[in-house]
Amino acid sequence: MPRSVTTGTSQSGHRPYAGRVSTNDDWDGFGFDTRQVHAGETPEREHGARVAPIYLTAAYLFDDFAEAEARFTGAAEGQLYSRNLNPTHQVAERRLASLEGGTGAIVVGSGQAAITGLLLGLAGSGERIVSTASIYSGTRTLFDRTFARLGVAVDYVRVPGDRAEWDRLIAPETKAIFVETIPNPKNDLVDIVAVAEVARAHGIPLVVDNTVATPYVIRPLELGADVVVHSSTKFLTGHGAALSGAIVDGGSFDWAGSDRAYPGITEAPAPGAASFLEKYGERALEAFLRFGIVNDLGAALSPVHSFLLQQGMETLSLRMDRHLANAEEVARWLTRHPAVESVDYAGLPDSPYHRIAQERFGGRAGSVFAFTVRGGRGGAERFFDALRVISRMTNIGDVRSMALHPATTTHVAFSAEERARLGITDGLIRLSVGIETAGDLIADLDQALRAAVA
């Protein structure tokens, strides 16, 4: 169970700002299933609404001149503008912080916005980030195109289990490590404990994208990570209806003690003002991002999408149980099909990542993985076009099962050499296994695979 988070005074002696608490005290110590339904809620006194309301307001009234000044200067806490704080968002933020075991969270417009806001808050022009190479293609594109234009370089580790490779790539200018718990599409699991040891040795924060696993499968903050990000569009919301992203602060990194500079957190934002670290203590990163770079970038989330995220989290464990069970059944069936060359699923005993799946993920390797159809691109195309139950579409983490051909879609802009290094072959198909009846999914795969080799 994630560690409890209480509402007391911050390390600096300041009370946290309204809504900054990651979970209601009343739900501390309760089980995951209970907290996914209740954590983060506050009573709606006016009408007694049981479901948290949607606050569709851009801004909020000030009682008087003095209150307006106090909120803008940070002398007083409370609602100011929905770009950085909205009551609907706060329920989702507290709930997710509770499930991940963090000190606080911020919801934003998409997973890409979460990664962008967080990493640009840690690294600036002339500085670097180290990442595993096998990550979501959109994140690779963000790093190689947009971050590069802003002067932030990203170095890629090809073999995450090789400590020497990490040590070789981490430079004095490196400001963070970025990994995914379950990389998409290859299901090549990362040992968070081992990477956390690297991060601690070098005095830099470890950022973990936990989108595919979710806190139901693994909680990286408990294993040594410092910050977690999500494309909460995916499994957390679960129904493919709303975009959102989230950043969860673990509250564990020693910003002042690092030999690398994190001025946005440790230095005063204005003359005479306290730094975010002095004012908010273990919640310094969250506050800096909320009122600093995330606010400045304008990566705001619609309150309607935040409400849908809340609704999705209420059933997370129930949906994930079906996702995980279906994925394992489908993966094992695929290994026996004559039209399938190979299956990239860490839950299989012969996977090179099976040990990590057993030791860190409780044997559960998620429900997004890849397999290779015989016949190369032609076989993949015939398979893809023959699908009927499984949707031909991008996205993952939907209740609906989905298939995609990475070489001609998500990775089409990658060089042939880089696709080969990442294992994105012409016959590779990515599956996101949904919650339908497993037998129906297998029947659909079977008829499509027979079409692939006909």
Do the domain assignments include residue 401?
yes
Give the end of a domain, one of 261, 279, 313.
313
Q: What pLDDT is attached to residue 22?
A: 38
Burial class (CB in 10 A: 0-12, 13-18, 19+), 429: buried
Distance in angstroms (rounded) separating the CA atoms of residues 114 and 106: 8
Q: 428-443 pLDDT, tens per residue? A: 999 999 999 999 999 9
Are 453 and 379 in contact by the 8 Å Cβ rule? The answer is yes
Do the domain assignments include residue 159?
yes
Are 46 and 312 in contact by the 8 Å Cβ rule? The answer is no
Q: How many domains does the chain have?
A: 2
Which two three-digit tokens encode residue 442? Answer: 């297998």
Do the domain assignments include residue 48?
yes
Across all residues in the chain, what is the average pLDDT?
A: 92
* Residues 186 and 104 both lie in one domain: yes
Distance in angstroms (rounded) separating the CA atoms of residues 266 and 285: 10
For 175, the 3-state DSSP assignment is strand
Do the domain assignments include residue 75?
yes
13 has a pLDDT exceeding 60: no
The backbone region for 94, taken as left when phi is positive above 0, alpha when psi lies in -120 to 50, beta otherwise, is alpha
DSSP 244-313: -EEEEE-S---TTTSSS--HHHHS-SSTTPPPHHHHHGGGHHHHHIIIIIHHHHT-PPPHHHHHHHHHHH
* Residues 269 and 327 both lie in one domain: no
Nearest to 412 by CA among 403, 421, 424: 424
* Residues 371 and 431 both lie in one domain: yes
pLDDT-based confidence at residue 150 (cuts at 50, 70, 90): very high
Q: 264-274 pLDDT, tens per residue? A: 999 998 888 89
Are 368 and 208 in contact by the 8 Å Cβ rule? The answer is no
Specify the CATH number for the domain of residue 382.
Answer: 3.90.1150.10
pLDDT-based confidence at residue 17 (cuts at 50, 70, 90): very low
Do the domain assignments include residue 13?
no
Q: Which residue has the tokens 């989330």?
A: 301
Q: 337-383 pLDDT, tens per residue? A: 999 999 999 999 999 999 999 999 999 999 999 999 999 999 999 99
pTM beyond 0.85: yes
* Residues 90 and 125 both lie in one domain: yes
* Residues 298 and 384 both lie in one domain: no
Q: Which residue has the tokens 């919650």?
A: 435
Q: 41-73 pLDDT, tens per residue? A: 888 888 888 899 999 999 999 999 999 998 888
Give the end of a domain, one of 256, 291, 313.
313
Q: 19-46 pLDDT, tens per residue? A: 333 334 568 889 999 999 999 988 888 8
Does 16 or 336 have the greater pLDDT score? 336
Do the domain assignments include residue 15?
no
Q: What is the mean pLDDT of residues 385-393?
A: 98
Q: 188-226 pLDDT, tens per residue? A: 999 999 999 999 999 999 999 999 999 999 999 999 999
* Residues 99 and 185 both lie in one domain: yes
Distance in angstroms (rounded) separating the CA atoms of residues 116 and 151: 14
Helical (H) or strand (E) element with 239: none
Q: Residue 31 — φ and ψ, nearest 5°? A: -70, 165
Structural domain for 355, as ranges: 317-452
Q: For residue 5, what are the contacts with CB-CB under 8 A and spacing of at least 6?
A: 21, 22, 23, 28, 97, 98, 101, 102, 103
* Residues 278 and 129 both lie in one domain: yes
The backbone region for 332, taken as left when phi is positive above 0, alpha when psi lies in -120 to 50, beta otherwise, is alpha
* Residues 231 and 284 both lie in one domain: yes
* Residues 244 and 291 both lie in one domain: yes
* Residues 409 and 355 both lie in one domain: yes
Which two three-digit tokens encode residue 210? Answer: 């936990």
